[in-house]
């Protein structure tokens, strides 16, 4: 792709994440790694793609704007991403069913956005094609960013969709 053919940021890097994850997990499936599949398997390739494109990335970023518990698990954003004046949050979900619970992700992304209204917030949904083709999210909460990307190699059919927080 020539530089003039790149999408505007962050669309270009998010498209690369969709492509990269679909191919990467297909490769892992060929290596018989299916038992290890979870959203955490997706973190490393996402981090590599973002940093390769010149972004600064914080993983498991403490979510601003939410009251944190005194003890236990703090509310964290999977990725806080910056480059120049562009800042966005990215939450990641491995979908195993058509209906996935994204309420906590929605709350965290909304709090992130409210802490910096110039920021953007995205939800990355990954899974087998038959599941994510018909995924159901919180109605009206997100809008799809670009088109889904699927890697279809016969036995392995994985795909990725990215949604942007719908700020009303």
Per-residue pLDDT of the chain (168 residues; tens, 9 = 90+): 544 467 899 999 999 999 999 999 999 999 999 888 989 999 999 999 999 999 999 999 988 877 766 666 778 999 999 999 999 999 999 999 988 999 999 999 999 999 999 999 999 999 999 999 988 887 789 999 999 999 988 877 999 999 999 986
Domains, in order of start, for the chain: 3-65+73-165 (3.40.1350)
Q: Please, what's the b/e burial string for 93-114 (b: 16 or more CB within 10 A of its CB; e: otherwise)? A: bbbeeeebebeebbebbbbbbe
Residues 6+ apart with CB under 8 A from 84: none
Which residue reads 């709350």 in tokens? 107
**pTM for this prediction:** 0.90
């Amino acid at each position: 792709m020539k530089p003039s053919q790149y999408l505007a940021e962050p669309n270009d890097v998010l498209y690369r994440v969709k492509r990269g994850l679909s191919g990467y997990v297909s490769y892992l499936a060929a290596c018989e790694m299916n038992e290890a599949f979870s959203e955490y398997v997706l973190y490393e390739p996402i981090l590599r793609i973002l940093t390769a494109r010149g972004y600064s990335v914080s993983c498991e970023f403490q979510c601003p704007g939410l009251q944190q518990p005194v003890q236990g698990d703090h509310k964290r954003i999977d990725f806080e991403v910056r480059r120049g004046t562009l800042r966005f949050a990215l939450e990641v979900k491995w979908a195993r069913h058509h209906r996935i619970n994204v309420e906590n992700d929605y709350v965290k992304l909304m709090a992130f956005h409210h802490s910096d209204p110039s920021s953007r917030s995205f939800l990355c949904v990954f899974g087998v094609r038959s599941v994510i083709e018909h995924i159901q999210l919180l109605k009206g909460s997100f809008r799809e960013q670009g088109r889904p990307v699927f890697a279809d190699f016969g036995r392995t059919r994985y795909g990725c969709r990215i949604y942007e927080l719908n700020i009303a």
